[in-house]
């Protein structure tokens, strides 16, 4: 028995000894989104030292002892997970992506920073907001996605420019567009539209939105001041996708869809209604003159035919006494011009990419094809794009890489503005009584030599114009090739020092072809006119930075020193010729008369030195400061250099001891900043006295003085103050931030009036000041978060008040927009119009207000006597923002993005044109004219209709056509289904997703018949209407 006990004791001792020894645990970590391995995941033993990092295939191996209870898995951008150790030796761990981790790194100026330590104001928009949406440029997808960012897409032209304003309007005469920075390099300083032919274009449309990893919008001085003279209007940082360690991942996506006009326009008269409106008026006049009903009807028919130049009916007298349609009378045609110039748009988008590599060498390669046919004839955009990013960590101290983008685009744009060749304008204002085709006596279209219908160019509004016919004869073509390349090298040395040098080349080549045919339209008088434009825009940028990071106990330091320089060269050649012998020839060599040939070359240079210092104590108290000195070639001799700086601080209140028992608060951070930034977006030679050498005198070369010099012309400066509070509560189910900001812009460029004796009317000076004050609120909530179902809500709203503080005069009419008055104490876009007073119910004539000799407001029926008033409202909205929902249930996902704008007045110029009430015969009219005042309809509020000699000017510019611009637009609805992993693997795919998408499907506006998404100034310019697009797509990875 004793020996037996001894043996059992020995066996137990051996067993316990074995358990006390270390054992090896292995496993694989994958992503819940696509099931692919996750390299670089940190694996820690809870409560102990030691651990491991997953390799390129997501595999980890860690040695644990008997006292180890659990393993903790963490990775940037993913929710950390703890797994209890059991007797098992192999584990499979799946990490879920996180959208609200404090440890997330956000891209900032010249580097990155942890969100928790950032003292500035910034909004981050992730790649999922841009992917596969039917937009030519990423800016359109920013609308409603970030607080303080106002995005306006005025035109539905494929490849059109988009207006972006960050925290209000920052200038009066200079640009208000933010600085765009792609992978650390600022976009060309020549502007984002390099075209002459295109009605609207954007060089940023050369960037494929599917190549974007994230967009960070920097808003306050602490975030932007390190960009100095270019940062007053905010900074938009675009980060493109990079390779990640691991096996090569291939991704492909295909999307196709159809587009339509987003908002219906005002209803207009059909051919019979239009013709009869004139007939009825003439008939009433003839009856009043004493004619018999039958005689009055014949006379009215004759007068109507003469007045309108055409008769769309099959009989010369389509209406009889009393206004009834004559027996047998019928329309030969009823041309709906809107239907003729509109078509169903179409979008095709194909993208492929490959990324992967090792811990040392990583790559990302992509190719894209985007083809969008616009909803208006003659409008389309096609882009081929390629991307290649490479990074190589050679060893512990040296690394290098390169970011490359190549894009080639072709854009056709119909003419715009108010000309007869503009298909949108023509279709809106030409009556249905004018035929699309030439017709014979029986109303049949007359064929041409090829058997095709012959287009008619007869109408009194735009004689010899027909946009459908001109679309086949004229050319408006733009081709752009853009190449950007940014190689860099980085060295880490000593302890905490990192030196980095980047050289960037941004090259854009623009070739344009514009041709007006010799048969109809703009160039009949010169037998055709052709133009060729050739442009090169080259920006070379050099950036050198030195950073130092050091931690001493609880003190953490991060210091940046840098130097930047760029040179932009812009070269343009233009040639023109006229006198083409016959139709079908468009090349200049075919013309008989060489016209004006011109060329010019401009250059701009920037030289900068900058620094930034960040300090924090115990991850609780944060301080930051930046300084930059910029020199820019455009300013006066003694004003070329400017100094810009910022200070900022933050306090993480939740880290204090008194907050430790407040369990529902996950994060609470108070921040503040103040700084000075600048705006150098002005003409390159704005400070110099200029002479024009292009003026001939008696056949000899000559020159003229065109611009006065101003040696004191300097930077526009913006002084920005910011207070913000960031929070996260209830296990981060609710998070957000609220910010208050004041942005005072002084030294604004303004045209100072001069005495005519100088030979000039104005000179540009730094004499105006303007304030933007506002509040932003952004909220993120996750009401439901389970294994199978997740619902996320994002809401943001911004209120900004703009005010002109001072200018050269207390009030002056905007020289570029006569409907705006720049008045001290009011905002930049205050409407300045004649104030409409309704109609005189006694005679139906329109009235406006004027001031009498005593200054009292009285009415007048004479438009020229009416006074322009302020106080009619502003074009700027009172509030704007976004409300977005994202839901996922098992393999299904649904997202709804919504944008809203409340307040602000818009001017409906189209409705004004349609309410001419007979002033312009042949010009289309709104159906509202059918209810015009008449002796038998004296209660109407619509001015009277007169078929001839109408001098009432009832539709002239006035507050009559000023309306509430409030609206809400559902920007995007996407419903997707992701194939189960086991199903996808059967067809050798790692992931596959099918989705349907609607872009701009619904718009709810306070004013109907008008797309409320007007320009910042509240006006429209006969642009192609915004579109709504319905798409279906497939993405796959393997």
Does residue 939 sit in helix, strand or coil? coil
Range with the largest mean pLDDT of 563-567, 811-815, 948-952: 563-567
Q: What are the φ and ψ backbone dihedral angles of 89, each rounded to 5 degrees? A: -110, -5
Tell me what the mean pLDDT of segment 870-878 comes to: 93
Q: Strand 398-412 to strand 836-839: parallel, antiparallel, or no bridges (unpaired)? A: unpaired
Tell me what the mean pLDDT of segment 922-949 comes to: 93
CB 944 within 8 A of CB 934: yes
Could you tell me what percent of the chain has a pLDDT over 70?
Answer: 96
Residue 184 token pair:
């650390």
Per the prediction, the chain carries an average pLDDT of 91
Tell me what the mean pLDDT of segment 797-811 comes to: 90
**What is the per-residue pLDDT for 286?**
94
pLDDT digits (tens, 9 = 90+) for 459-486: 999 999 999 999 999 999 999 999 999 9
* Helices 271-288 and 293-308: angle between axes, nearest 10 degrees: 130
**What is the per-residue pLDDT for 77?**
66
Nearest of 769, 752, 774 to residue 761 by alpha carbon: 752
Q: What are the φ and ψ backbone dihedral angles of 919, each rounded to 5 degrees? A: -65, -35
**What is the per-residue pLDDT for 695?**
65
pLDDT digits (tens, 9 = 90+) for 286-312: 999 999 999 999 999 999 999 999 999
CA distances to 122, 564, 610, 676 from 226, in Å: 14, 11, 6, 10
Taking 90 as the threshold, does the pLDDT of residue 419 lie above it? no
Taking 60 as the threshold, does the pLDDT of residue 282 lie above it? yes
**What is the per-residue pLDDT for 142?**
93
**What is the per-residue pLDDT for 755?**
81
* Alpha-carbon span 856 to 394, nearest angstrom: 81
pLDDT digits (tens, 9 = 90+) for 595-640: 989 999 999 999 999 999 999 999 899 999 999 999 999 988 888 9
Taking 50 as the threshold, does the pLDDT of residue 9 lie above it? no
- Complete domains list, the chain, with CATH: 2-95 (2.60.40.1120)
**What is the per-residue pLDDT for 298?**
96
Confidence of residue 696 (pLDDT cuts 50, 70, 90): low
pTM score, whole prediction: 0.89
Does residue 713 sit in helix, strand or coil? coil
* Alpha-carbon span 930 to 917, nearest angstrom: 10
Handedness of CA 332, 337, 338, 344 (dihedral sign): positive
Taking 50 as the threshold, does the pLDDT of residue 714 lie above it? yes
List Cβ neighbours of 339 (8 Å cut-off, separation of 6 or more).
none
Burial 248-263 (b: 16+ CB within 10 A, else e): ebbbbbbbebbbbbbb
pLDDT digits (tens, 9 = 90+) for 100-132: 444 578 899 999 898 889 999 999 999 889 888
Tell me what the mean pLDDT of segment 929-956 comes to: 92
**What is the per-residue pLDDT for 170?**
85
Tell me what the mean pLDDT of segment 1006-1019 comes to: 90
pLDDT digits (tens, 9 = 90+) for 69-108: 888 888 766 777 888 888 888 888 888 776 544 457 889 9
CB 454 within 8 A of CB 401: no
Taking 60 as the threshold, does the pLDDT of residue 190 lie above it? no
**What is the per-residue pLDDT for 102?**
44
* Alpha-carbon span 1021 to 1019, nearest angstrom: 7
Taking 70 as the threshold, does the pLDDT of residue 12 lie above it? no
Does residue 398 sit in helix, strand or coil? strand
Confidence of residue 23 (pLDDT cuts 50, 70, 90): confident
Residue 274 token pair:
């239009």
């Amino acid at each position: 028995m004793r020996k037996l006990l001894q043996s059992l004791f020995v066996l137990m001792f051996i067993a316990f000894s074995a358990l006390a020894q270390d054992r090896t645990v292995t496993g694989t970590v994958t992503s819940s989104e696509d099931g692919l391995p996750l390299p670089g995941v940190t694996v820690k033993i809870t409560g102990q030292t030691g651990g491991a990092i997953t390799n390129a295939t997501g595999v980890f191996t860690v040695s644990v002892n008997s006292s180890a209870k659990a393993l903790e898995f963490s990775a940037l951008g993913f929710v950390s997970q703890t797994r209890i150790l059991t007797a098992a030796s192999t584990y499979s761990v799946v990490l879920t992506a996180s959208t609200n981790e404090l440890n997330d790194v956000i891209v900032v100026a010249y580097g990155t920073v942890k969100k928790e330590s950032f003292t500035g104001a910034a909004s981050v928009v992730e790649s999922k907001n841009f992917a596969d949406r039917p937009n030519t440029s990423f800016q359109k997808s920013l609308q409603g996605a970030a607080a303080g960012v106002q995005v306006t897409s005025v035109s539905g032209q494929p490849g059109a420019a988009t207006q972006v304003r960050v925290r209000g309007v920052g200038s009066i005469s200079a640009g208000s567009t933010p600085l765009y920075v792609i992978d650390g390099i600022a976009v060309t300083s020549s502007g984002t539209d390099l075209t002459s032919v295109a009605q609207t274009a954007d060089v940023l449309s050369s960037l494929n939105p599917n190549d974007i990893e994230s967009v960070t919008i920097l808003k306050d001085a602490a975030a932007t001041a390190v960009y100095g003279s270019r940062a007053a209007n905010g900074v938009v940082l675009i980060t493109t996708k990079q390779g990640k360690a691991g096996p090569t991942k291939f991704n492909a996506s295909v999307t196709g869809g159809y587009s339509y006009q987003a908002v219906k326009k005002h209803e207009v008269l059909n051919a019979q209604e239009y013709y009869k409106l004139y007939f009825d008026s003439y008939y009433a006049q003839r009856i009043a003159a004493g004619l018999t009903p039958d005689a009055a009807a014949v006379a009215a028919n004759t007068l109507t035919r003469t007045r309108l130049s055409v008769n769309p009916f099959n009989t010369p007298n389509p209406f009889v006494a009393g206004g009834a349609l004559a027996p047998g009378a019928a329309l030969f045609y009823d041309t709906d011009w809107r239907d003729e110039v509109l078509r169903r748009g179409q979008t095709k988008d194909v993208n492929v990419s490959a990324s992967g590599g090792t811990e040392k060498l990583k790559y990302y390669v992509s190719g894209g094809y985007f083809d969008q046919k616009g909803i208006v004839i003659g409008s389309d955009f096609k882009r081929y794009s390629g991307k290649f990013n490479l990074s190589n960590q050679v060893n512990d101290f040296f690394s290098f890489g390169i970011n490359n983008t190549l894009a080639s685009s072709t854009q056709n744009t119909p003419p715009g503005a108010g000309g007869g060749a503009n298909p949108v304008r023509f279709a809106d204002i030409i009556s249905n009584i004018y035929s699309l085709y030439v017709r014979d006596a029986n109303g049949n279209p007359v064929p041409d030599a090829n058997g095709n219908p012959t287009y008619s160019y007869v109408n009194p509004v735009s004689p010899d114009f027909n946009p459908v016919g001109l679309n086949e004869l004229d050319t408006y073509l733009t081709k752009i090739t853009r190449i950007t390349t940014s190689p860099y090298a980085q060295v880490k040395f000593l302890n905490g020092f990192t030196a980095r040098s980047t050289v960037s080349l941004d090259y854009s080549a623009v070739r344009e072809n514009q041709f007006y045919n010799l048969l109809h339209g703009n160039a009949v008088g010169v037998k055709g006119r052709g133009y060729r434009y050739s442009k090169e825009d080259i920006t070379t940028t050099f950036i050198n930075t030195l950073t130092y990071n050091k931690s001493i106990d609880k003190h953490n330091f991060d210091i940046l020193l840098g130097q930047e320089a760029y040179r932009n060269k812009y070269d343009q050649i233009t040639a023109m010729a006229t006198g083409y012998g016959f139709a079908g020839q468009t090349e200049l060599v075919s013309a008989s008369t060489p016209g004006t040939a011109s060329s010019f070359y401009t250059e701009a240079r920037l030289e900068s030195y900058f620094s930034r210092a960040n300090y924090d104590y115990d991850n609780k108290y944060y301080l930051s400061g930046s300084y930059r000195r910029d020199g820019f070639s455009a300013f006066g001799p003694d004003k070329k250099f400017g100094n810009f700086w910022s200070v900022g601080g933050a306090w993480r209140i939740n880290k204090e001891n008194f907050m430790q028992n407040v369990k529902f608060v996950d994060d609470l951070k108070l921040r503040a900043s103040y700084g000075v930034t600048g705006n150098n977006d002005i003409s390159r030679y704005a400070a110099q006295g200029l002479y024009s050498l292009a003026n001939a005198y008696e056949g000899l070369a000559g020159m003229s003085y065109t611009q006065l010099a101003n040696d004191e012309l300097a930077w526009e400066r913006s002084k920005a103050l910011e207070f913000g509070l960031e929070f996260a509560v209830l296990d981060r189910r609710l998070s957000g931030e609220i910010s208050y900001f004041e942005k005072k812009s002084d030294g604004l460029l303004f045209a100072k009036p001069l005495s005519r004796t100088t030979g000039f009317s104005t000179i540009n000076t730094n004499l105006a000041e303007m304030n933007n004050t506002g509040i932003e609120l952004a909220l993120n909530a996750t009401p439901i978060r389970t294994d199978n179902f997740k619902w996320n809500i994002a809401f943001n709203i911004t209120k900004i008040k703009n005010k002109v503080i001072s200018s050269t005069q207390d009030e002056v009419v905007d020289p570029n927009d006569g409907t705006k008055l720049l008045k001290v104490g009011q905002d930049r876009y205050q409407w300045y119009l004649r104030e409409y007073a309704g109609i005189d119910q006694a005679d139906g004539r329109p009235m406006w207000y004027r001031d009498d000799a005593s200054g009292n407001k009285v009415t007048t029926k004479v438009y020229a006597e009416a006074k322009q008033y302020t106080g009619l409202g502003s074009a700027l909205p009172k509030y704007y923002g976004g409300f977005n929902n994202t839901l996922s249930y098992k393999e299904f996902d649904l997202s709804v993005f919504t944008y809203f704008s409340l307040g602000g007045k818009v001017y409906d110029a189209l409705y004004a044109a349609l309410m001419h009430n007979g002033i312009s015969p042949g010009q289309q009219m709104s159906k509202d004219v059918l209810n015009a005042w008449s002796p038998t309809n004296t209660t109407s509020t619509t001015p009277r209709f007169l078929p001839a000699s109408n001098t009432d000017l009832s539709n002239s510019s006035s507050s009559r056509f000023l309306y509430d611009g409030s609206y809400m637009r559902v920007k995007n609805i996407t419903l997707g289904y992701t194939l189960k992993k086991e199903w996808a693997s059967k067809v050798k795919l790692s992931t596959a997703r099918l989705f349907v998408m609607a872009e701009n499907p619904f718009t709810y506006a306070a004013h109907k018949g008008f797309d409320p998404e007007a320009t910042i100034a509240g006006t429209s310019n006969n642009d192609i209407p915004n579109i709504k697009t319905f798409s279906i797509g497939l993405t796959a990875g393997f």
